[in-house]
């Protein structure tokens, strides 16, 4: 199946060509109706023979390649692999003229100059003819046909014999991720090939401490780990780029001293391993409290800064563990990050990896009281992302129902933003929010504003101890309340998320199953 990249980022060691007018050197032409990117995706998935070889892979000689050099029969070679790009002619935004520059020849050199970071293997997977029988050096491809996707990680050139990037035929059934690396005089780059789609919200955690690199890619229940003592000193600034739909991750690090490294470094424990997450130890890093902002009378947003050298994006619905020692005893608690506000991060000065944790401080809560007594600049240990929630089921959902009690709202906050701002397929998102009193409602102003301005989001509050003037729902969760709130419109796909105190979650999940919701339609967050 063809996976088409949807995110864009430049190759770290290349620059885009710019014409004197300031426009990109890559020109687009008007496509015929029915020849958009999505049309190419559908066409390539149609099962039609796009190579003319009925699924066979062949070895192509240079003489054979040169024969296929016309508009009606156009083959080209990139890094030793031959593709029949004839079917793609009418879909190419740069026009057939650009593709014809590669007709019957090896155009790898010019391709690298312009779009070396594009994942042509994925886009032209169904057009693969086979491998070149001999190495050819003919220059000549200005392959901008890969320009909707100008944002994929470059297939790295081989620099280490132990990790050669020589081109191979499509991988076999081995689903184990792999990695490679390449370098310039001033930078070193690692590329992880997950061999599956990965969340666009992030699944990679990188820690660089005293020259030791720990890179973890979270893939469902599995964890792929790279763990090395790097060959030379590097700066702590790290950039991570993800091409989610093709499963590639590139980590770029600056060298302190320019020059070529003979190797990437020394492998350490668990390097290049693919294990179940439950089988690997939880790794903590030392974070700093930057600020504490009051949400209501007993709840605050704690903003934590991860160490220099750490890049950590917590996917939607995942939590982290906070660990500290209280009176000589190690205490660990899970918390789900939120964004700065319900609309998402708005402070451009904020570091991308800063964590925002909305935490209720209980009078008799040992851990929350400890947190509440921290001062700006104090430290606390934070794990990487944990949890079983996945946004994949939401891709097929039309109606999303969220049932939250108290601080059980925190995992819902990012789910709400995702549903109403990024997932057009979800036609309706409804939140039923349980609290004791009005003053306990978290982010009420933002929730009310969102409901007023977005027709796809609906909201109801339920109070168990309301004042006399309260006109909304009263009481606790029960069968009749859920029957009123939930509905299964015809031909719709529903999904329900629940989070709150354990008793609330257990009761609510039982009531939902009584109403006919299956396990696949339900998710309970850890409170």
Which active-site residues does the annotation give? 319, 335-336, 499
Angstrom distance (rounded) from CA 353 to CA 311: 6
SS3 178: strand
Q: What tokens appear for 221 in the block?
A: 């229940």
The structure tokens 């309706």 sit at 428
β-pairing, 58-60 vs 128-132, is parallel
- Give the number of other Cβ atoms within 10 Å of residue 234's Cβ: 20
Produce one character per residue of 177-215: b if its CB has 16 or more CB atoms within 10 Å, e if not.
Answer: bebbbbbeeebbbbbbbbbeebbbbbbbbbbbeeeebbb
**3-class secondary structure per residue, 106-140:** ECHHHHHHHHCCCCHHHHCHHHEEEEECCCCCCCC
Q: Which residues have a Cβ under 8 Å from the Cβ of 168 and sit 6 or more positions away?
A: none
Say how many Å lie between the first and final Cα of the chain, rounded: 38
Angstrom distance (rounded) from CA 447 to CA 452: 9
Radius of gyration of the chain (CA): 26
> Phi, psi at residue 261, to the nearest 5°?
-90, 140
């Amino acid at each position: 199946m063809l996976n088409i990249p949807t995110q864009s980022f430049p190759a770290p060691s290349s620059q885009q060509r710019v014409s004197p007018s300031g426009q990109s050197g890559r020109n687009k032409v008007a496509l015929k109706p029915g020849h958009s990117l999505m049309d190419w995706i559908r066409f390539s998935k149609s099962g039609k023979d796009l190579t003319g070889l009925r699924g066979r892979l062949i070895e192509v000689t240079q003489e054979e390649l040169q024969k296929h050099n016309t508009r009606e029969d156009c083959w080209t070679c990139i890094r030793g692999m031959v593709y029949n790009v004839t079917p793609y002619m009418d879909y190419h935004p740069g026009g057939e003229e650009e593709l014809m520059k590669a007709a019957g020849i090896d155009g790898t050199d010019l391709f690298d100059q312009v779009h070396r970071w594009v994942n042509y293997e994925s886009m032209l997977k169904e057009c693969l003819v086979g491998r070149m029988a001999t190495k050819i050096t003919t220059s000549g491809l200005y392959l901008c046909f890969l320009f909707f996707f100008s944002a994929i990680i470059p297939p790295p050139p081989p620099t280490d014999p132990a990790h050669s990037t020589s081109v191979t035929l499509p991988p076999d059934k081995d689903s184990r991720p792999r990695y490679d690396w390449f370098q310039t005089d001033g930078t070193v780059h690692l590329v992880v090939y997950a061999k599956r789609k990965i969340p666009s919200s992030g699944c990679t955690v990188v820690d660089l401490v005293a020259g030791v690199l720990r890179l973890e890619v979270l893939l469902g229940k599995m964890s792929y780990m790279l763990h090395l003592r790097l060959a030379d000193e590097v700066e702590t600034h790290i950039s991570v780029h993800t091409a989610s739909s093709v499963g590639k991750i590139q980590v770029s690090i600056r060298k302190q001293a320019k020059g070529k490294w003979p190797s990437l470094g020394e492998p350490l424990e668990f390097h290049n391993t693919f294990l179940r997450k439950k089988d690997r130890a939880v790794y903590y890093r030392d974070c700093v409290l930057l600020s504490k902002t009051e949400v209501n009378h007993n709840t605050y947003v704690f903003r934590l800064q991860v160490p220099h050298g750490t890049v950590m994006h917590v996917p939607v619905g995942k939590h982290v563990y906070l660990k500290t020692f209280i009176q000589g005893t190690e205490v660990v608690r899970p918390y789900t990050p939120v964004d700065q506000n319900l609309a998402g991060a708005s402070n451009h000065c904020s570091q991308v990896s800063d964590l925002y944790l909305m935490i209720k401080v209980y009078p008799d809560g040992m851990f929350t009281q400890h947190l509440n007594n921290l001062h700006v600049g104090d430290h606390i240990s934070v794990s990487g992302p944990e949890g079983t929630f996945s946004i994949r089921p939401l891709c097929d959902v039309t109606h999303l129902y969220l049932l939250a009690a108290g601080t059980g709202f925190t995992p819902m906050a990012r789910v709400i933003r995702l549903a109403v701002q990024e997932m057009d397929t979800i036609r309706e998102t409804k939140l039923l929010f349980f609290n004791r009193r009005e003053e306990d409602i978290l982010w009420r102003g933002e929730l009310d504003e969102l409901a007023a301005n977005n027709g796809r989001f609906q909201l109801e509050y339920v109070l168990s101890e309301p004042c006399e003037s309260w006109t909304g729902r009263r009481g606790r969760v029960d069968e009749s309340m859920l029957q009123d709130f939930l509905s299964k419109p015809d031909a719709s796909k529903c999904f329900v998320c629940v989070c709150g105190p354990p008793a609330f979650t257990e009761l609510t999940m039982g009531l939902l199953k009584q109403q006919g919701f299956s396990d696949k339609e339900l998710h309970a967050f850890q409170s």
